[in-house]
Amino acid sequence: MTFGDYVALEPTEISFGHPQKATGQEAEHLAAMAPSYGTPLNAVRELEGASGHFPVIIYAPSFSQVPWENADLCEYIASFGYTVLAVPAMGVGPESTHDVAGTNEQARDISFLMDYAKSLPEADLSEVAVVGYTH
């Protein structure tokens, strides 16, 4: 996969398979990343997964950032046999806030992924960790 393949997932990142058109700031942000679209990463699209149960790693992106901001790190972690999940840092409004309300909202994003992991037959929920990044 390339960086652009991850960017192309943006219309479904909060609707899980029901695309929503990028508007305003999001579309502008995606257009600014165009030079990076062809950058190859290590994941392979449509590769048949290994069978079994795998520990879960939840990636919490920077405030107001996209879930694929650190795709290379998530791919690296997955290469060791982890199920890696990430959602955008939505915040309490259009922008995440760097206060208690913003932190609580990010905790709810992480909680959402914990609940979502329950629907994945390969997820071993007895082993879960959260990794985050901020800049």
Q: Which residues contact 61 (CB under 8 A, 6 or more apart)?
A: 67, 69, 70, 86, 88, 89, 132, 133
Q: What pLDDT shows up at residue 41?
A: 84
State the Cα angle at 30 between 113 and 57, rounded to 5°: 20
Q: What pLDDT shows up at residue 55?
A: 97
Encoding tokens for residue 104?
Answer: 């609580």
Q: How many CA atoms lie within 13 A of 118 on its CB side?
A: 4
Please report, rounded to a whole number, the percentage of residues in the chain having pLDDT higher than 70.
Answer: 78
Q: What pLDDT shows up at residue 42?
A: 85
Q: Which residues contact 22 (CB under 8 A, 6 or more apart)?
A: 10, 11, 30
What predicted TM-score, i.e. pTM, was given to this entire model? 0.76
- Number of domains the chain contains: 1
Residue 24's domain comprises 3-132
Q: What is the amino acid identity at position 68?
A: W
Q: What pLDDT shows up at residue 123?
A: 95
* Predicted confidence pLDDT, tens digits, the chain (135 residues): 887 787 777 777 666 666 566 554 555 666 666 667 778 888 887 778 788 999 999 998 877 777 888 888 999 999 999 999 988 776 666 567 778 888 888 888 889 889 999 999 999 999 999 998 776
